[in-house]
């Protein structure tokens, strides 16, 4: 099939929920992707913060292939070794006690909400508990995750939402305190808001919410689906704040492309769920968890966190220079290899210009360019990306 044949076939048969670039990606190697016409792209999107180890990593590929030949799926009525190893790796990395494996980040949020509600139910016997979420947040597109997503645009056609969700202002502790009442069972937010514009939580905010939760007997749920798994320089972003949540969600880079998500909790909270309360046919299957195990091994072997700290600081420095040099760029913000540039115009045009120049980059919100590359990029890759970015901004500044 030609490139256009593939696009035409997809447009004919897929439900149109994405406005796709007119590109058919064919293969990847390292931090580069190639389309079916042979064009090379430097990837600073990583499949939306997923492919942390880059493409065609032989050790990762070999581990996945070996598991395919051994056992792909059974069911959760039985144990399997990869899931047991993955559970140990991810809970130890997060400082949590127990984990439930899902197929996606959205499902992880659903499970976290259910766990918080069940925990509150066991404490009080009532089912009218409320959850405080944040405006400008994004937690997923299923109905539960959508209900705690603080953006009316995503919600308006799919109401009514589940009741008992109240929205505070991110990084405004007083606005959270104003919503707390006797029915509040949990507070949920992203440690670094992603889709909402790449806004890290301020230390005083995160620590203040933790103290508030401790004082009121409320659970703290941190969504680390995008900012976790090393993207900000620690395995989970909250670890840089000296704060520990009661429940944390993860996905994206946890299995570097295979469908896997997770919600983790402390022992006290986790024991609220008992057989029959929650389940997943595919969640934690041997193939996805074998990939997860190898991801953790390669993070350590390749010193991924150290690379994120070093190259993330360099990326921030180079983007700060871009802010200085272009009137159409207002601000840089972010942490590690999760960075955003706020423009004075819609970011879609800039993203397309970058892609035309061979740099894959995504947007976040209306006017943010989002940089979430593989965590193995080098300073030389940053230099190449910035050259392509500047060429795009030059065009837009004419």
Per-residue pLDDT of the chain (398 residues; tens, 9 = 90+): 899 999 999 999 999 999 999 999 999 999 999 999 999 999 999 999 999 999 999 999 999 999 999 999 999 999 999 999 999 999 999 999 999 999 999 999 999 999 999 999 999 999 999 999 999 999 999 999 999 999 998 999 999 999 999 999 999 999 999 999 999 999 999 999 999 999 999 999 999 999 999 999 999 999 999 999 999 999 999 999 999 999 999 999 999 999 999 999 999 999 999 999 999 999 999 999 999 999 999 999 999 999 999 999 999 999 999 999 999 999 999 999 999 999 999 999 999 999 999 999 999 989 999 999 999 999 999 999 999 999 999 999 87
388 among known catalytic residues: no
What local confidence, expressed as pLDDT, does residue 371 receive?
A: 98
Sheet architecture: strand order including 25-29 = 25-29, 32-35, 40-43, 359-360
What local confidence, expressed as pLDDT, does residue 398 receive?
A: 77
What local confidence, expressed as pLDDT, does residue 357 receive?
A: 96
From 118, 252, 294, 388, active-site residue: 252
128 among known catalytic residues: no
60 among known catalytic residues: no
What local confidence, expressed as pLDDT, does residue 397 receive?
A: 87
The owner of tokens 């939306």 is 48
Q: Which of 44, 41, 10, 45 is nearest to 26 (CA)?
A: 41
Q: What is the pTM of this model?
A: 0.96
The owner of tokens 């402390």 is 266
> 59-301 sits in which CATH class?
alpha beta
What local confidence, expressed as pLDDT, does residue 276 receive?
A: 95
The string of DSSP codes covering 97-161 is SEEEEESSHHHHHHHHHHHHHHHHHHHHS-S--EEEEEBT----SSHHHHHT-B-HHHHGGGPSP
| The domains spanning 3-53+303-397 and 59-301 adopt the same CATH topology | no
From 44, 51, 101, 138, active-site residue: 138
What local confidence, expressed as pLDDT, does residue 365 receive?
A: 86
Contact 137, 151 (CB under 8 A): yes
Alpha-carbon distances of 187 from 194, 214, 269, rounded to whole Å: 18, 12, 14
From 117, 167, 223, 294, active-site residue: 223
Q: What CA–CA distance (Å, rounded) separates 1 from 120?
A: 55
The owner of tokens 């006690």 is 97
Which numeric CATH code is attached to 3-53+303-397?
3.90.1150.10
What local confidence, expressed as pLDDT, does residue 76 receive?
A: 94
Domain ranges of the chain: 3-53+303-397, 59-301
């Amino acid at each position: 099939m030609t490139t256009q044949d593939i696009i035409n076939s997809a447009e004919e048969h897929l439900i149109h929920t994405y406005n796709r670039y007119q590109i058919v990606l064919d293969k990847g190697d390292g931090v580069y992707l190639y389309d079916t016409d042979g064009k090379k792209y430097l990837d600073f999107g990583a499949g939306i913060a997923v492919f942390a180890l880059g493409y065609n990593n032989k050790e990762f590929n070999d581990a996945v292939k070996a598991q395919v030949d051994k056992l792909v799926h059974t069911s959760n009525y039985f144990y399997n070794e990869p899931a047991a190893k993955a559970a140990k790796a991810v809970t130890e990395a997060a400082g949590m006690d127990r984990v439930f494996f899902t197929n996606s980040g959205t499902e992880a949020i659903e499970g976290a909400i259910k766990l918080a509600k069940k925990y509150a139910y066991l404490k009080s016997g009532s089912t009218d508990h409320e959850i405080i979420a944040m405006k400008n947040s994004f937690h997923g597109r299923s109905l539960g995750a959508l209900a705690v997503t603080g953006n009316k645009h995503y919600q308006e056609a799919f109401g009514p939402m589940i009741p008992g969700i109240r929205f505070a202002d991110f990084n405004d502790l007083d606005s959270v305190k104003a919503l707390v009442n006797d029915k509040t069972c949990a507070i949920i937010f992203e440690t670094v808001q992603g889709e909402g514009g790449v806004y890290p939580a301020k230390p005083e905010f995160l620590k203040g919410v933790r103290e508030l939760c401790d004082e009121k007997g409320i659970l703290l749920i941190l969504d680390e689906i995008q900012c976790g798994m090393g993207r900000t320089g620690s395995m989970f972003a909250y670890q840089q704040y000296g704060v520990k949540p009661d429940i944390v969600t993860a996905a994206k880079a946890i299995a570097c492309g295979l469908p896997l998500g997770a919600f983790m909790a402390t022992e006290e909270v986790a024991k609220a769920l008992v057989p029959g309360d929650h389940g997943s046919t595919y969640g934690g299957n041997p193939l996805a968890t074998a990939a997860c195990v190898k991801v953790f091994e390669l993070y350590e072997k390749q010193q991924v966190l150290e690379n994120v700290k070093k190259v993330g600081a360099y990326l921030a420095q180079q983007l700060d220079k871009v802010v200085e040099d272009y009137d159409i760029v207002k601000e840089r913000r972010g942490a590690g290899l999760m960075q955003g540039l706020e423009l004075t115009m819609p970011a879609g045009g800039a993203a397309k210009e970058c892609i035309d120049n061979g740099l894959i980059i995504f947007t976040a919100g209306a006017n943010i360019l989002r940089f979430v590359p593989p965590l193995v990029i080098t300073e030389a890759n940053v230099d190449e990306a910035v050259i392509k970015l500047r060429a795009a901004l030059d065009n837009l500044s004419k």
